[in-house]
Chains A and B, each alone.
Chain A
Amino acid sequence: MKNFDQSFAHFSRFVARRTSRRSLLTLLGAALVGAAGVPLLPVARADAKEPATGAVDPTQDPMRCEYWRNCGMDGFLCGCCGGSSTSCPPGTEMATTTWIGTCRDPADGRDYIIAYNDCCGKSTCNRCMCGRNEGDRPIYYPAKSNNINWCAGASTNVYHCTTTILLGMSEPVP
């Protein structure tokens, strides 16, 4: 029990340090919410390649919640769980149904469409919680709600962590 308590205390401190208190409360959803005015559409794609990274700037570091692609993130970063920002940890399954949004890369000032594919089949990773509720909507608006577990689109509904897969450049937002 002692170890369990310490583990959870560590988890709580981690969450408090890295995100606001709200984030733990919304950790399950993997929907994405992007820039206003950009339609959020279901996407069936789970084969994107990981881009080269390594920048010190936190907005360019996939291991940081501040990473530019995480604008709609609400879950555990798969890079902290044995996977990467674009791949699932060993033994899990990437949900092929997800939701997309738009994040701006400050490096080039352009907007990109990002899919937040969940990795499913193992219990919650509990590492690198990242919650950013930009544009989030209630559950009755699933296309924009990050309080829904999108492992619903996988063969198992057990949520583990979330990836950020770049699908392409977005059209300019009017």
Chain B
Amino acid sequence: MKGGAGFLAVMTGACIFAASVAGAGESVPDLLHRQDSVGKVEQLAESPGAHWVWVLDANLSSMPDGRAWLFDADSGRSMGSLNTGYSFVAFALPRAYHEIYSAETYYSRHTRGVRTDVVSVYDPNTLSPRAEIALPPKRASTIPRLNDSALTDDGRFMAVFNLTPATSLSIVDTRTRKFVGEIGIPGCSLAFPAGARTLFSLCFNGGALVTELNPDGSLSSQSRVEKLFDAEGDFIADNGARFGNAWLFPSLYGNLYPLEFTGKTIKAGKVWSLVTKKERRENWRISGYQGSAVHVATGRLFVLMHQGAPDTYKDPGTEVWVYDIGSGKRLWRIALEHATVAIGVSQDADAVLVGLDMLSSHLDVYTAVDGRHLRSIGEVGVTPALVQFPWQPPAAPGK
């Protein structure tokens, strides 16, 4: 009845409005057709645009209310958002982008009550929940890092980093929608995909722990690899960029450490310098929470940099330095519009580089080919910390 009364009110208003403007060449019946339909809800295209990008917002001023915002970097338009619970970090995105996987924590009374950890499965077209997979309530709460969770290369198993403070991975089968089990990773943290059903975690002693899963997601084997980097001296960042069968990690003093994986193990690749001796003396430093990105097709590495003492290695970057991965040669430097905590590169031929300023809440868009500033998109979240591009190219050279 309430709805019917509302409809009558609208109709009455429309008639009054129509009567007041009739006489300008339009009849009242014509004007009555000038109505918007009620109840329309947008849906996104089946395939994401090459320059659509998720901005991940931990909302550190009100952490139970994590969010993710989808933007079109070409138009600057907001495409929609997701609400992602307490201490939100990042998604795990399958290459086909047929679903969005998000490790989330909730309390039954906002900040108290029963804690529930889940992997939420979202429909990428409607941005609505499709399923929910219960996890042990152990999910790590950190300042956001993309590799707080990861999807195996076969796209089936999601690993969620736990810290209680004992460290482990919760393994979820995205196909059966079930929690498979918990795998301890003592002394190590985070999860990096390294094969069809293989992940590795970085360890406090400068090594890595390689975890291989069985076809059902249970633990097949674990092996430790020692001395990949110097955890006390020239330590690597806890965020890197994937390039084929390697993860590339910039280090505290401006070196690039490739960790290469073949089969069931990992080895240290050839370390090369990101900076000259002069630049090192001038304290050019790695930066941010997502401080590197790769454009796979061209084999280019983008590294976020600023000048500062060693303890500033997570400070926002002021420039992006671009390298040819094959030769290690630096190609150019890009001056950034805002102090930037995270960078990402789209994977299309006409690629864009995006940079995120957490404090002023801006997403800056540049051409990846020459660093030309295209636009800045404002109001991209409360404390946005990371970016993720949903679109992936059909094939990845270098793999």
A contact residues vs B (CB 8 Å cutoff): 8, 11-12, 15-16, 20-22, 24-29, 42, 97, 121-124, 126, 133-143, 147-153, 156-159
**Of B61, B110, B339, the contact of A11 (CB 8 Å cutoff):** B61
B264 is an interface residue with CB less than 8 A from chain A: no
Apart from A139-B142, A148-B142, list 14 A-B contacts with CB within 8 A.
A22-B312, A25-B316, A122-B111, A123-B62, A133-B311, A136-B311, A137-B231, A139-B190, A141-B204, A141-B231, A150-B165, A153-B164, A157-B105, A158-B64
Does A123 lie within 8 Å of B140, measured CB to CB? no
Does B311 lie within 8 Å of A134, measured CB to CB? yes
How far apart are the CA atoms of A152 and B167 in the complex, in Å? 11
Q: Is the interface of B mostly helix, strand, loop or mixed?
A: loop
Does A123 lie within 8 Å of B202, measured CB to CB? no
What is the size, in residues, of chain B's interface with A at 8 Å between Cβ atoms?
A: 50
Does B314 lie within 8 Å of A133, measured CB to CB? yes
Q: In the complex, which residues 184-239 of chain B have their Cβ closer than 8 Å to any Cβ of chain A?
A: 188-190, 201-204, 231, 235-238
B contact residues vs A (CB 8 Å cutoff): 58, 60-64, 86-87, 105, 107, 110-112, 115, 140-143, 145, 163-165, 167, 188-190, 201-204, 231, 235-238, 289, 311-316, 339, 341, 358-360, 382-383, 385
Residues in A whose Cβ lies below 8 Å from that of B383: 24
Q: Is the interface of A mostly helix, strand, loop or mixed?
A: loop
How far apart are the CA atoms of A41 and B145 in the complex, in Å? 24
Known: A140-B201, A151-B141. A22 touches B315 (CB 8 A): yes
Among A139, A149, A159, max chain B CB count under 10 A is at A139
Residues in A whose Cβ lies below 8 Å from that of B64: 123, 158
Does B143 lie within 8 Å of A147, measured CB to CB? yes
> Smallest Cβ distance from B345 to chain A, in angstroms?
21
Residues in A whose Cβ lies below 8 Å from that of B145: 139, 147
Does A8 lie within 8 Å of B382, measured CB to CB? yes
A-B pairs with lowest CB-CB distance, top 8: A138-B238, A149-B141, A140-B202, A147-B143, A22-B315, A140-B189, A141-B204, A139-B238
